[in-house]
């Protein structure tokens, strides 16, 4: 049992490190979005030139930023929560809420999202779906793939949360380690 718990904690730590690295990397998209948006505005109002490709790039970056940073947000416990009662609860009750929330809400949502999106993404890949605009980004299929990555990444973070909440509920005795 001790070995299993140690392996579970190791797995949770690995999931956390990967999701944190992805989240921190995704943050740079916000800088890129600002720069591209600035260029679009200057091109449009200073030179009278529009760029559908650059405007779509902003939308792509925005979508990828939010979907790839969601698991890191869950890891940091920075997601939106109605915190009227939770903040005042003892550690064990918080752990139980975290465990049940991840197991009964986050994981089922991720599984459902993955299952519902699979054919949607598969169809997009089968035709290598591109932009509806002539000069748009010819890679809508890649953007749609991020939905599946988001579902997997968030599900893994929920598993990590379940492991850590269970550990807080039943902490290992220091002498047993």
Rg (CA), the chain: 21
pLDDT in tens, 73-91: 999 988 777 677 888 889 9
Distance CA 94, CA 126 (A): 45
Q: In whole angstroms, what is the distance from residue 117 CA to residue 17 CA?
A: 26
> What's residue 98's pLDDT?
92
> In 3D, which of 128, 140, 5 has the Cα closest to residue 60?
140
Nearest to 59 by CA among 144, 2, 134: 144
Decide: residue 145, CB within 10 A, 0-12 exposed, 13-18 middle, 19+ buried.
middle
| pLDDT the model gives residue 175 | 38
Domain count, the chain: 1
Q: Is 49 a member of any domain?
A: yes
Q: Give pLDDT tens digits for 113-165.
A: 999 999 999 999 999 999 999 899 999 999 999 999 999 999 999 999 999 99
Dihedral pair phi/psi, residue 49, rounded to 5°: -110, 130
Are 67 and 146 in contact, with CB atoms under 8 Å apart? yes
- pTM of this prediction exceeds 0.85: yes
Share of the chain above pLDDT 70, in %: 94
pLDDT of residue 118: 97
| 40 touches 55 (CB < 8 A) | yes
Q: Domain residues for 167?
A: 2-172
Domain assignment present for residue 177? The answer is no
Contacts for 158 with CB less than 8 Å, ≥ 6 apart:
74, 102, 103, 106, 107, 110
């Amino acid at each position: 049992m001790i070995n299993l718990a140690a392996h579970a904690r190791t797995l949770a730590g690995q999931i956390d490190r990967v999701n944190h690295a992805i989240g921190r990397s995704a943050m740079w998209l916000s800088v890129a979005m600002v720069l591209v948006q600035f260029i679009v505005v200057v091109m449009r109002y200073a030179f009278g030139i529009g760029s559908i490709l650059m405007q779509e790039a902003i939308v792509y970056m925005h979508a990828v930023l939010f979907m790839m940073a969601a698991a890191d947000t869950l890891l940091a416990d920075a997601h939106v929560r109605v915190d009227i009662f939770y903040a005042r609860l003892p550690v064990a009750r918080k752990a139980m809420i975290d465990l049940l929330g991840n197991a009964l809400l986050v994981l089922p949502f991720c599984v459902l999202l993955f299952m519902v999106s699979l054919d949607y993404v598969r169809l997009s890949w089968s035709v290598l779906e591109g932009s509806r605009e002539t000069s748009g980004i010819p890679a809508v299929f890649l953007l749609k793939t991020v939905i599946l990555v988001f579902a997997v990444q968030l599900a893994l973070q929920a598993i990590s949360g379940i492991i850590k909440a269970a550990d807080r509920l039943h902490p290992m005795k220091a002498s047993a380690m």
